[in-house]
Amino acid sequence: MHYIWKEWKENIRGKGLWLSVSIIVLLSLIILIRFASHPLDHGFYILLINLFDTIVYFIPILCLFIGAFSIFQEKEQKTLIMLLTKKDHYASFLAKKILGISVVVLLPLLAWFFLYLLLLKFQFQLDIKSYLIFILSILLMSVLFLQVGAAIGSFSRSRMQIIGHTIFIWFYFFFLHDFILLSLLPHITNENVKVFSTFYFLNPLQAIRIFLETSMEVYSFSHMSRLLQEFMWTEPSAFLVGNFAFWMVGSFASAVFFNRKDVHE
């Protein structure tokens, strides 16, 4: 609780959180106006898909930056050393810090998306289950990238390093990961498709998108070939849980293992 309060106090004074939330608010309003002025059948689902496809550009990078700078600030202001002298291990500090950042980032987002639902109610026929799935997808994406951001903040020694690492990770998940898999596609057979599928769903952006679209029953995996059945060897939700666990544990472990408490002046 102490960390949540501390994080709240720090973020409320800074620009990062408000910038991020303002961007999400603005984007969702623009998309609402766009689809409200051109109503289509099942417009609610169309709006959610378009909203997700748009904010997926922003949430990962914003969360990476918020997470990274939040940790880095502790190092820069020497508060990290003070906190760790109180018999607190870095892992426990990191866990509390991530919890704090997550709560502080997710609360305004949740509040906005609740308000947004009220706005949607005037224009569309709502499907609450789909909306909750949408919110869950956004929240999972935010937490995951905040955690990865915290890892960046842990092992970076300067602001430049943070910017470099963040942009690389964003670029990796947005382009590079899929590009590598695309290049491997001609060599995929029934024998190796499960391994390929595992790597495909290691990209959180793909895992979350497929979970969202299938859970909303917008995207259907039907009449699948043997290859595709092998590819989808478990449920999209299971892929998402696996992906989430992998990146949360992986980034936490790397943050603890490679953390540097010193900062380049």
Partner 1 sequence: MKKITLLLIFFSLILISNPEEYEASNHLQSLIDSMEEGAVLKLGNKTYEGNIVINKRLTIIGSKHTVIKGDGTSNVISIKAPGVKLRHLTVIHGGMNRNTAEEYAAIKIHTNHNVIEHVKIRDSYHGIYLSQAHHNTIQYNDIKGMGKGKIAAQGNGLHIYYANNNLLAHNKIEGTRDGMFFDYANRNKSYDNHISHTRYGLHYMYSDENIFKRNIFTMNQGGAAIMNSNRLKLKDNQFLINYGNQSFGLLLLQANENNIENNMFYLNQRGLYIDQSTKNIIKNNKIIENEIGIELWASSNEQIFTLNKIYENTIPAALIGGKGESNAWSKDGKGNDWGTFFPLTDLDQNGIGDFPITYYSSLHQLLEKQELTNLFLKSHAITIYEKINAALNDNEVMFKDPHPLVQRKRNHSFILVAVLSLLAVILIKGRHPYALHLERMEGKHKR
Binding interface with partner 1 (CB under 8 A): 15, 18-19, 22-23, 26-27, 30, 40-42, 45-46, 49, 53-54, 174-179, 181-183, 185-186, 188, 193, 196, 200, 206, 209, 213, 217-225, 227-228, 231
CB of 217 to partner 1, least distance (A): 7
**Closer by beta carbon to partner 1, 49 or else 99:** 49
Token code pair at residue 209: 């998108």
Does residue 117 sit in helix, strand or coil? Answer: helix
Q: What is the greatest pairwise CA distance in the chain?
A: 60
Do the beta carbons of residue 183 and residue 205 sit within 8 Å?
no
CB of 41 to partner 1, least distance (A): 5
**Closer by beta carbon to partner 1, 191 or else 262:** 191
CB of 178 to partner 1, least distance (A): 4
**Closer by beta carbon to partner 1, 49 or else 83:** 49
CA angle 136, 137, 142 (to 5 degrees): 95
CA angle 70, 140, 194 (to 5 degrees): 120
Does residue 265 sit in helix, strand or coil? Answer: coil
Q: Which helix (H) or strand (E) holds 85?
A: helix 79-85
CB of 253 to partner 1, least distance (A): 27
DSSP 134-197: HHHHHHHHHHHHHHHHHHHHHH--SHHHHHHHHHHHHHIIIIIHHHHHHHHGGG--TTTHHHHH
Q: How distant is the alpha carbon of residue 207 from its chain centre? A: 11
**Closer by beta carbon to partner 1, 163 or else 181:** 181
**Closer by beta carbon to partner 1, 81 or else 176:** 176
CB of 133 to partner 1, least distance (A): 15
**Closer by beta carbon to partner 1, 40 or else 238:** 40
Q: Which of 226, 217, 113, 98 is nearest to 153 (CA)?
A: 98
CB of 74 to partner 1, least distance (A): 21
Do the beta carbons of residue 120 and residue 130 sit within 8 Å?
no
**Closer by beta carbon to partner 1, 88 or else 217:** 217
CB of 185 to partner 1, least distance (A): 5
